[in-house]
């Protein structure tokens, strides 16, 4: 899939994921930094015993944030970047559990860890396995912290333990579904780029002259084949009204046909130069903002001719109006 994206000239999909992971990790670092600052202020006010140890834990958390910030600035492989992010999130889980045990209570720890788990599942494009690894560390950290506070896990409510387990597994499932969605989206984008490349090659290398008009009848695109077939540069026709290249006697009928095309009806109009040494070229009309189109014989690009012995005829710089007909 990545090679197809590169062939189509589009961005590397894995590179896009790496950039998304880095950008969201930076936002997460700022959120964690603000949260740790708030917890530190609460510790200074509420913790009476073991304040030095608590502050040491906060310093370790700040060091983790600093290391993660530096890691985001270093160019590394996708696997190593994901591993460093898992290590950072796991470190936050462990240090938060240690802080809870130092406070002598783990009641709020599951809520904090669940918030982190769902945040990583929904914002980090890393898939189910990194998510599973990080929440496994969270479960172990909660269990060890509770054991450190109470000296046993016998008092743990089975319903609470089951609820936490299900919630953490749900976060893994969410990460899996989002990763699947991203893969399908990336495959669809790669397919669109391939189709666009084929369409572009068909237009630019084909012999048919294709003109795209907006709803006002202004030429917005002219295929390069017009220069090969009729001798006029595509950029010279951009921004001009297509009606200026229609014979005055045909203008009303052609305008009515264009209006029907804008209304969603299929319209076929055949046009040919009023005087030309070049055979008419097939073309398609597409109206901007609608799916309506009119397939036509080319309505523009007249080439007048002057003869002299041994010299080829030359074209005039501006197309002359073409004569058109349409099915009755």
Instruction: Give the residue extent of every domain in the chain.
Output: 7-180, 211-325
CA–CA separation, 89 and 141 (whole Å): 12
Q: Within 13 Å of residue 89, how many CA atoms lie on the same side as its CB?
A: 31
Contact 148, 101 (CB under 8 A): yes
Q: How far does the chain reach from its first CA to its final CA, in angstroms?
A: 50
185: left (phi over 0), alpha (psi -120 to 50) or beta: alpha
**Three-class SS of residue 224?**
coil
CA–CA separation, 303 and 259 (whole Å): 28
Residue 9 has pLDDT above 70, yes or no: no
- Burial code (b: 16+ CB inside 10 Å, e: under 16) for 6-34 equals eebebeebeebbbeebeebbeebbeebee
Please give the pLDDT value at position 313.
30
Q: What is the mean pLDDT of the chain?
A: 78
* Consecutive H or E run containing 294: strand 293-297
Of 186, 235, 181, 215, the closest CA to residue 10 belongs to 186
Please give the pLDDT value at position 274.
55
Lowest-confidence region among 105-119, 130-144, 293-307: 293-307
CA–CA separation, 71 and 83 (whole Å): 11
Please give the pLDDT value at position 276.
41
> Tokens standing for 180?
């699947």
CA–CA separation, 124 and 142 (whole Å): 23
> Tokens standing for 112?
């904090």
User: What length is written for the chain?
Assistant: 328
* Rounded to 5°, angle at Cα 202 from 200 and 207: 125
Residue 311 has pLDDT above 70, yes or no: no
Question: Which CATH number is 211-325 given?
Answer: 3.30.450
Please give the pLDDT value at position 216.
92
């Amino acid at each position: 899939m990545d090679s197809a994206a590169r062939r189509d000239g589009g961005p590397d999909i894995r590179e896009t994921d790496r950039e998304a992971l880095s950008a969201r990790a930076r936002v997460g670092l700022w959120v964690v930094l603000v949260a740790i600052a708030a917890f530190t202020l609460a510790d200074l006010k509420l913790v009476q015993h073991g304040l030095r140890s608590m502050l040491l834990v906060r310093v370790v958390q700040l060091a983790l944030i600093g290391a993660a910030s530096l890691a985001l600035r270093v160019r590394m492989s996708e696997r190593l970047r994901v591993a460093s992010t898992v290590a950072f999130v796991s470190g936050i889980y462990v240090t938060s559990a240690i802080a809870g045990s130092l406070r002598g209570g783990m009641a709020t720890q599951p809520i904090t860890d669940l918030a982190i788990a769902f945040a990583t599942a929904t914002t980090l494009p890393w898939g189910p396995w990194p998510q599973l690894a990080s929440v496994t560390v969270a479960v172990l950290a909660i269990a060890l912290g509770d054991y450190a506070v109470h000296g046993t896990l016998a008092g743990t409510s089975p319903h609470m333990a089951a609820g936490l387990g299900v919630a953490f597994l749900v976060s893994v499932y969410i990460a899996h579904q989002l990763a699947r969605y991203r893969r399908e989206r990336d495959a669809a984008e790669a397919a669109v780029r391939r189709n666009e490349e084929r369409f572009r090659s068909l237009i630019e290398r084909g012999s048919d002259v294709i003109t795209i008009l907006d709803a006002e009848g202004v030429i917005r695109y002219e295929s390069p084949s017009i220069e090969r077939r009729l001798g006029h540069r595509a950029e010279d026709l951009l921004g001009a009204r297509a009606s200026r290249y229609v014979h005055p006697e045909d203008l009303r009928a052609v305008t009515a046909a264009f209006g029907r095309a804008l209304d969603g009806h299929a319209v076929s109009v055949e046009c040919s130069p009023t005087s030309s040494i070049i055979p008419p070229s097939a073309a398609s009309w597409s109206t901007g903002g609608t799916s309506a189109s009119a397939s036509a014989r080319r309505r523009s690009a007249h080439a007048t001719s002057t003869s002299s012995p041994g010299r080829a005829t030359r074209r005039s710089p501006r197309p002359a109006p073409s004569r058109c007909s349409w099915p009755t």
